[in-house]
């Protein structure tokens, strides 16, 4: 029996008037559950519920909001194995990473819960006597969260955890490839005890639900993670509505390998960074920029290492890399492999769809490495799959120039044992994140996560305390207890003799 889910609106799972769609295991083709394509009216209902819950939720103290969030973290902890398996069966990342996705939920909900007892503002001295000045965070209102399939629990948790602790009810619209993960997350939030209307889930199409959320007059922030084209559309629509947006868009993240790098360490990092999650992370190490002195050796090692990766069903503990997430993803990645061939890039290994046995049931692509010229499309465009582009650099400056030549700027990395290169890379790489002697993936929740250039035009950062910036505004408060009119700038001048 395939479970049929409804929509979660105003504290209840509800039947939908909309048509239904299936969610499938990308490794086996098995149908896991069905979900509704929410209608415009249902969207209106969810936004209305979130708006209705705002007054009460904002007045619930932040420590109390944190307690409920901590309870959600506890439930996640208890169900980690079960939910990790849901991530792996619905999205296709290997089981260790499926568990990691859930761990990231636990980590962030715990962290955000603690923020409920901090959420620091500032006190600032006044220029006038008997007057106090301070800043406090205020929740913006009900918000819309639009999330991708690659971290199907972690990203909804980053956004929902920050919104909830800030005091903002939300409507979540997950990717149609991973609605089950989102439904499981919402079930936990419901069990943890959030009041009706604070948590709402709508599944459905980008055109009805996604666009509908962005345009809805009651939603005061849209937080979106996904591709640049959709991000641009969200940005434009939100600008017309004059609301705040958080955008977390693509990446073409470089690892720079200097000639003094520890090659063993480098190779371990590249395999994890490029082929972890089958390359389907915004942070994936999709470019390896190698100093010319070690280039031939690195290319040699890469082929050997990539060919050793065990590709298969991600639920099997021994599998190193699972399938890509959908037929569309598979098509897109294979098209890029074709583009590489046509543009004359040198295929070092992989470059094909895997066939036979278990491979015939899912979307399996061989770990692929191309040697690429810096002006070619494979060197510049995000592929979002297990395809690594290797580029040759003359020296450090050339490597940084190549690294910075793309329109994205999420994550970046350098492998070197020379402090000078490490510190210069920290300064010169145009990216929201720089790693030294580690690949471009693996961000921790207590630090800001986000990018520059077309990755992050809104300059918002998820995770860390910066996550609150998306869902709060700063209020400045002046308390004058002098008992008389005091005029800033005017009486001040008298006092200081200015
Ligand atoms: C993403 O790919 O959008 O740093 C998020 C990482 C993960 C999060 C990635 N912790 O790779």
H helices then E strands: how many in the chain? 16, 22
Query: How far is residue 248's CA from residue 236's CA, in Å, rounded to a whole number?
Result: 15
Query: How far is residue 53's CA from residue 10's CA, in Å, rounded to a whole number?
Result: 8
Q: Is residue 490 in a domain?
A: no
Q: Is residue 496 in a domain?
A: no
**Residues 258, 233 share a domain:** no
**Residues 347, 214 share a domain:** no
Query: How far is residue 247's CA from residue 231's CA, in Å, rounded to a whole number?
Result: 7
280 lines ligand 1 (CB under 6 A): no
User: How many other CB atoms are found less than 10 A from the CB of residue 41?
Assistant: 11
282 lines ligand 1 (CB under 6 A): yes
286 lines ligand 1 (CB under 6 A): no
In a 3-state reduction of DSSP, which class is residue 269?
A: helix
**Cα Rg of the chain, angstroms:** 24
Q: Which pLDDT score is estimated for 495?
A: 63
442 lines ligand 1 (CB under 6 A): yes
Number of domains in the chain: 2
Query: How far is residue 213's CA from residue 243's CA, in Å, rounded to a whole number?
Result: 12
Q: Which pLDDT score is estimated for 492?
A: 83
For the chain, the first-to-last Cα distance in angstroms comes to 81
Which of the listed residues 150, 281, 447, 448 should we mutate to test ligand 1's pocket, taking the one with most ligand atoms within 8 A of CB?
Answer: 281
The CA-atom distances, in angstroms, between 493 and each of 128, 134, 287, 327, 448 are 10, 22, 58, 70, 41
- Going through 106-163 in order, the beta strands assigned E by DSSP cover 123-124, 131-139, 143-146
Beta carbons of 394 and 292 less than 8 angstroms apart: yes
User: How many other CB atoms are found less than 10 A from the CB of residue 216?
Assistant: 22
Q: Is residue 498 in a domain?
A: no
209 lines ligand 1 (CB under 6 A): no
**Residues 357, 467 share a domain:** no
**Residues 301, 212 share a domain:** no
What b/e readout covers 272-291, taking b as 16+ CB neighbours within 10 angstroms? bbbbbbbbbbbbbbbbbbbb
Give the Cα-Cα-Cα angle 275, 276, 278 (nearest 5 degrees).
Answer: 60
Q: What is the domain-level CATH number for residue 120? A: 3.40.605.10
Measured from the Cα of 444, ligand 1's closest atom is 10
The sign of the dihedral angle between the CA atoms of 302, 303, 307, 308 is negative
Report the catalytic residues: 248, 282
**Residues 234, 283 share a domain:** no
**Residues 334, 193 share a domain:** no
Q: Is residue 267 in a domain?
A: yes
Beta carbons of 364 and 354 less than 8 angstroms apart: yes
What's the pTM? 0.97
CA of 442 to the centre of ligand 1 (A): 6
**Residues 368, 232 share a domain:** no
In this predicted model, what pLDDT tens digit does every residue of 404-413 receive, in sequence order? 999 999 999 9
The two beta strands, 31-36 and 3-4, are parallel
Average pLDDT for consecutive 10-residue bins of the chain (498 residues)?
Answer: 96 98 98 98 98 98 98 98 98 98 98 98 97 98 98 98 98 98 98 98 97 97 97 96 96 98 98 98 98 98 97 98 98 98 98 97 98 97 98 98 98 98 98 98 98 96 96 98 96 68
Domain residue limits at 431:
253-436
Q: Is residue 451 in a domain?
A: no
Q: Is residue 492 in a domain?
A: no
In this predicted model, what pLDDT tens digit does every residue of 185-226 receive, in sequence order? 999 999 999 999 999 999 999 999 999 999 999 999 999 999
Measured from the Cα of 248, ligand 1's closest atom is 3
Measured from the Cα of 148, ligand 1's closest atom is 3
Which of the listed residues 93, 224, 283 should we mutate to test ligand 1's pocket, taking the one with most ligand atoms within 8 A of CB?
Answer: 283
Q: What is the domain-level CATH number for residue 366? A: 3.40.309.10
Residues 6+ apart with CB under 8 A from 344: 373, 376
Name the one residue in this structure whose structure tokens are 């904002």.
58
**Residues 62, 205 share a domain:** yes
Query: How far is residue 195's CA from residue 186's CA, in Å, rounded to a whole number?
Result: 12
The two beta strands, 170-173 and 143-146, are parallel
**Residues 413, 352 share a domain:** yes
In a 3-state reduction of DSSP, which class is residue 172?
A: strand
411 lines ligand 1 (CB under 6 A): no
441 lines ligand 1 (CB under 6 A): yes
Measured from the Cα of 276, ligand 1's closest atom is 11
User: How many other CB atoms are found less than 10 A from the CB of residue 73?
Assistant: 22
Beta carbons of 131 and 105 less than 8 angstroms apart: no
**Residues 374, 305 share a domain:** yes
In DSSP terms, 411 is beta-bridged to 433
Q: Is residue 443 in a domain?
A: no
CA of 283 to the centre of ligand 1 (A): 6
């Amino acid at each position: 029996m395939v479970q049929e889910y409804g929509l979660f609106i105003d504290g209840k799972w509800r039947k939908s008037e909309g048509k239904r769609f299936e969610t499938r295991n990308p490794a086996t083709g098995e149908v896991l559950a069905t979900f509704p394509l929410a209608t415009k009216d249902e969207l209106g209902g969810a936004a209305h519920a979130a708006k209705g819950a705002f007054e009460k939720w904002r007045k619930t103290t932040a420590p109390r909001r944190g307690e409920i969030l901590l309870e959600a973290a506890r439930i996640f902890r208890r169900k980690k194995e079960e939910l990790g398996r849901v991530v792996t069966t619905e999205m296709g990342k290997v089981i260790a990473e499926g568990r990691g996705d859930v761990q990231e939920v636990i980590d962030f909900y715990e962290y955000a819960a603690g923020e409920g007892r901090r959420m620091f503002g500032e006190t600032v001295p006044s220029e006038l006597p008997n007057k106090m000045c301070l800043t406090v965070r205020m929740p913006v209102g009900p918000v819309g969260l639009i999330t991708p399939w690659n971290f199907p629990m972690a990203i909804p948790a980053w956004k929902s955890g920050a919104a909830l602790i800030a005091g903002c009810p939300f409507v979540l619209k997950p990717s149609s490839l991973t609605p089950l993960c989102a439904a499981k997350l919402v079930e936990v939030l419901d069990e943890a005890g959030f009041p009706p209307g604070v948590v709402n889930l709508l599944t459905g199409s980008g055109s009805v639900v996604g666009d509908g959320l962005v345009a809805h007059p009651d939603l005061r922030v849209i937080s979106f993670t996904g591709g640049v084209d959709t991000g641009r559309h969200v940005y434009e629509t939100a600008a017309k509505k004059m609301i705040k947006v958080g955008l977390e868009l693509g990446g073409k993240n470089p690892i720079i390998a200097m000639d003094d790098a520890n090659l063993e360490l480098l190779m371990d990092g590249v395999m994890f960074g490029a082929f972890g999650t089958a390359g389907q992370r915004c942070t994936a190490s999709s470019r390896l920029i190698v100093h010319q002195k070690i280039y031939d050796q690195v290319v040699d090692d890469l082929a050997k290492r990539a060919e050793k990766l065990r590709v298969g069903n991600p639920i099997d503990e021994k599998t190193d890399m699972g399938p890509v997430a959908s037929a569309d993803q598979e098509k897109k990645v294979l098209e890029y492999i074709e583009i590489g061939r046509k543009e004359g890039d040198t295929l070092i290994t992989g470059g094909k769809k895997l066939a036979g046995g278990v491979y015939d049931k899912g979307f399996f692509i061989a770990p692929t490495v191309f040697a690429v010229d810096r002006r070619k499309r494979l060197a510049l465009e995000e592929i979002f799959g297990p395809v690594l582009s290797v580029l040759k650099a003359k020296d450090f400056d050339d490597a940084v120039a190549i690294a910075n030549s793309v329109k994205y700027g999420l994550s970046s990395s350098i492998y070197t044992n020379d402090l000078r290169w490490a510190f210069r890379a920290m300064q010169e790489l145009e990216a929201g994140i720089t790693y030294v002697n580690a690949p471009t993936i693996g961000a921790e929740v207590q630090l800001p996560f986000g990018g520059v250039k077309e990755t992050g035009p809104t300059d918002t950062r998820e995770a860390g305390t910066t996550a609150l910036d998306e869902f709060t505004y700063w209020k400045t408060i002046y308390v004058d207890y002098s008992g008389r009119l005091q005029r800033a700038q005017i009486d001040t001048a008298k006092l200081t003799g200015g």
